[in-house]
Structure 1
């Protein structure tokens, strides 16, 4: 069964988020809204996308737009991941992500909204929420560092992050 179709009313879901439990319409009030979908915490594209969204947040606020993100990991993971997102921006004046991140570790909301990608699956075979790559060429975290160095002899740049995880790796677009 398909998720939402054009013309459908968007569900007024309730969810646990990094700012507490919220109901979508109450959160939005009279604002416009943008819902970001991310397949997993600690992934290169998701980290950079949310970093850019956090950086641009004041521009959205000026236009009466509230942002909210959805990722299929737990709140505990979101809190830790948020530090990496902020570190990506190299902005030590900001101490928290300026929008909530929904915890959807059972993928219930992603299923309700029709956001699962039938092709992309995690290690356990569970489908991930849909996404598309940006301008940079990201090196998938599953490729070991030695192999990445041999595959990309021009160099792999790894962003140092508070979690110590070395998953944010990229190369210039060939």
Structure 2
């Protein structure tokens, strides 16, 4: 079954580089970023895991936990992290899920439900397992991204996406194209003008009646 925005993020128990976790329990009252990889010791994924380690303090500021997943056992992950630190300059500082039997990959609809976890598997066998899931403290999926193996993911964009999700969950606003923290936002159409006047007493700019632009709420 496909995972859509607004669905409950499937719960699971898995082995990770930081021990056994129950996913929802591990998330707790935080936000979470789950990002997956088709194979250990692959070049693009090595760069991604290192960059996420560099960005972790930014996610921490946003009350967000990050967790990686790769279709190999935890023992392989533990060997891989040395390469990541050596080549990327940042040690992996978050858990990495071992998923050699494809349990979590299937649960999150990242691979065909009839795929076998039988080894050996190549990255090409697991090519679709290149997704990012943004999950809220309510354990619902807020956003998803999927990339091909040949394209490294832009995790600065994932951080921007998280900022938007957190802002728009807290306030009845939406963020326009290329929005960044601190820039103007848009009052969502579901908010009537009467309600908007209460929420935004300083008023708004309206180049069109359906475009009500206000400074980003604090």
1: CA distance, partners of 2:40 / 2:13:
21
Q: Which SS does the other structure have where 1:61 is aligned?
A: helix
Aligned residues: 128
TM normalised by structure 2 equals 0.54
Q: Structure 1 residue 21 and structure 2 residue 20: aligned?
A: yes
Distance 1:123 1:90, change over 3 A: closer
Deviations 1:70-90 (A, max 9, x none): 100011100000111111222
In structure 2, relative to structure 1, the CA distance for the partners of 1:84 and 1:23 (3 Å cut) is same
Distance 1:124 1:30, change over 3 A: closer
1:48-63 to 2 correspondence within 5 Å?
Answer: 48-63=47-62
Task: Pick the aligned partner of 1:134 from 138, 147, 152.
Answer: 152
Asked if structure 1 preserves the Cα contact closer than 8 Å seen for 2:106 and 2:112, the reply is no
Gap regions ≥5 residues in structure 2: 114-120, 131-146, 154-218
CA contact (8 A) 1:116 1:127 kept: yes
Report the equivalent of 2:100: 105
Distance in 2 of aligned mates of 1:124 and 1:34: 22
**Cα separation, partners in 2 of 1:23 and 1:90, compared to 1, 3 Å:** same
**Superposed CA offset, 1:9-52 (max 9, x none):** 11121111000000111111111000011000000110000000
| Post-superposition offset of 1:125 | 7.7
1:55-101 C-alpha deviation (Å, 9 max, x unpaired): 1111111111100001000111000001111112225xx5xx21100
**Take 1:117 and 1:84, find their aligned partners in 2: how far apart are those partners?**
30
Q: Which residue of the partner structure matches residue 87 of structure 2?
A: 88
**Matched-pair contact (CA < 8 Å) for 2:39–2:122:** no
SS in 2 for 1:69: strand
Uncovered stretches (5+) of structure 1, i.e. residues with no partner: 136-174
Which of structures 1 and 2 has the larger relative contact order (alpha carbons within 8 angstroms, sep 6+)?
1
